[in-house]
Amino acid sequence: MEDIISLCKRRGFIFQGSEVYGGMAGTWDFGPLGVSLKNKIMSEWWNFWVEKRDDMFGIDAAIIMNPRTWVASGHTATFADPLVECKNCHGRFRADKIANGITESVTTEEFQSLKVKCPTCGKTDWGPIRKFNMMFETHIGAVLPDDKGEIAEKSVAYLRPETAQGIFTNYKNVVDTIYPSLPFGLAQQGKAFRNEISPRDFILRDRECTQMEIEYFVHPGTWEENFEKLLKENHYFLEEIIKLPKSKIHDLEVPASDRAHYSKRTVDFMFDYPNGEEELMGLAYRTDFDLQNIARESGKNMEYRDKNTGESFVPHVIEPSIGVERLILAVLSSAYTEDEIDGNKRTVLKLPENLAPYRFCVSPLLKNKPELVEKAREVYAMLREKYTNVTWDDSGNIGKRYRKQDEIGTPKCVVIDFDTLEDDTVTVRDRDTAEQVRIKIAEL
């Protein structure tokens, strides 16, 4: 993990958030190469799930939603972690993360009886367990404290803790406007915010993340077959489009005791990260839980009327949900390789071609030979026109350029030398094998 974090910083993929001011815990900024990788992953997802399908539609909802959203969804009451404070050093921790064998619903008595040592100072003197709501609170409009210095409760709003509710709250709008046949899915990509007590593991557990979620609406009698279909399609997306190694993805059937009370089936896609097995994405059968909550809180009818049978019912929902940062780390850690070329150690990022920030790097063999530079510029312009994501590099010597392009995962380096001027051929060097072939410019 340390090697990957270091490469991400060194090459401009991912930086600590607000680094210039000493950082901001649990936030990360994407640099030029990171944002390129992130955008490619997000657009592969959007193409696969929305653009190429007849049964999926996109949504882009506001981040700040009416607070009744979170009352209806249960987040106001239950989106909370058990927080415990050490009376000696005043360190604050998630109780279920510092003690073995307890759940989020641990009580003060249970926790204190375990005699857990404070991870910071080693004492066992704990305060009571308190529920800490993880939603980020904000205030809407021109808000001033009253005479007592208090801010009116009615101005409170939250940064959304998940994108899913932005989809559920638009279900009725979509049905009323485009009236899609069941089953159909609504997809959304966007930011979600969780005030984690202790963010850690690089971009795996951050306070601000980008989610890609689908709510797939089905007739209640067909949830099992649709669940199986989505399970297969999600594997296909991860393995064939994002090209994650099959051997690192493990389906975990979440046992009833760990599932949300309304869910009859949830499968977590676990992934072998550098720091161990962690959840990459989840596929959950949510029944009609969310639409019924909205119907109750809003007083609006959430029923769907079947065009053919005339039957009216509230659809059930299957939700594939994935965090972009988790997917990026899965991609980076699968691509990260250390090997040896001609007796020299090298670091190489074996990114799939469709995700690599640059597809080609073009360079003149020598940058002080104007005729080589001119020819290389021609080839660069031609490839750029064709592929867009092409980079130019004439720094250092050719060996150093290869090293750099290996580290950022550029699949092919194209080098223009004196032979090019004679016969219009170039050297194309392959990132993974370091093999070089000579080919015609027209065949690039």
Tokens 């159909």 map to which residue?
184
The nearer residue to Zn ion, 63 or 197, going by C-beta atoms, is 197
Tokens of 369: 């030979």
Question: Is residue 117 close enough to count as binding Zn ion by CB under 5 A?
Answer: no
**How many CA within 13 A on the CB side of residue 247?**
1
Question: Is residue 322 close enough to count as binding Zn ion by CB under 5 A?
Answer: no
The nearer residue to Zn ion, 6 or 120, going by C-beta atoms, is 120
| First-last CA distance in the chain | 36
- CA-based torsion, 434, 435, 436, 437: positive or negative: negative
* Stretch of 88-96, 128-136, 217-225, 287-295 lying at the interface with Zn ion (CB under 5 A): 88-96
The nearer residue to Zn ion, 88 or 321, going by C-beta atoms, is 88
**Shortest CB 99 distance to Zn ion, Å:** 14
**Shortest CB 197 distance to Zn ion, Å:** 15
Question: Is residue 91 close enough to count as binding Zn ion by CB under 5 A?
Answer: yes
**Shortest CB 22 distance to Zn ion, Å:** 24
The nearer residue to Zn ion, 8 or 86, going by C-beta atoms, is 86
Question: Is residue 125 close enough to count as binding Zn ion by CB under 5 A?
Answer: no
Distance of CA 205 to the CA centre of its chain: 11
Q: What is the dihedral of CA 17, 18, 21, 24, to 10 degrees?
A: -50
* 183/216 Cα distance (integer angstroms): 7
Instruction: Find the length of the chain.
Output: 444
Question: Is residue 121 close enough to count as binding Zn ion by CB under 5 A?
Answer: yes
Question: Is residue 89 close enough to count as binding Zn ion by CB under 5 A?
Answer: yes
The nearer residue to Zn ion, 89 or 434, going by C-beta atoms, is 89
* Stretch of 79-87, 161-169, 192-200, 240-248 lying at the interface with Zn ion (CB under 5 A): 79-87
- Residue 337 CB neighbour total at 10 angstroms: 12
**Shortest CB 114 distance to Zn ion, Å:** 15
* Stretch of 60-68, 121-129, 395-403, 431-439 lying at the interface with Zn ion (CB under 5 A): 121-129
- Residue 441 CB neighbour total at 10 angstroms: 17
**Shortest CB 88 distance to Zn ion, Å:** 5
**Shortest CB 98 distance to Zn ion, Å:** 11
**Shortest CB 125 distance to Zn ion, Å:** 8
Per-residue b/e over 150-186, b at no fewer than 16 CB within 10 Å?
Answer: eeeeeeebbbbbbbbbbbbbbbbebbeeeebebbbbb
> What are the φ/ψ torsions at residue 418 (nearest 5 degrees)?
-65, -30
* Stretch of 13-21, 59-67, 86-94, 430-438 lying at the interface with Zn ion (CB under 5 A): 86-94
**Shortest CB 86 distance to Zn ion, Å:** 3
The nearer residue to Zn ion, 111 or 227, going by C-beta atoms, is 111
* 67/160 Cα distance (integer angstroms): 9
Number of residues that bind Zn ion (CB under 5 A): 7
Cβ-contact 266, 282 below 8 angstroms: yes
Cβ-contact 33, 357 below 8 angstroms: yes
The nearer residue to Zn ion, 98 or 415, going by C-beta atoms, is 98
Question: Is residue 118 close enough to count as binding Zn ion by CB under 5 A?
Answer: yes
Question: Is residue 120 close enough to count as binding Zn ion by CB under 5 A?
Answer: yes
- CA-based torsion, 296, 297, 300, 304: positive or negative: negative
**Shortest CB 92 distance to Zn ion, Å:** 10
Under the rule (CB under 5 A), what is the footprint of Zn ion?
86, 88-89, 91, 118, 120-121
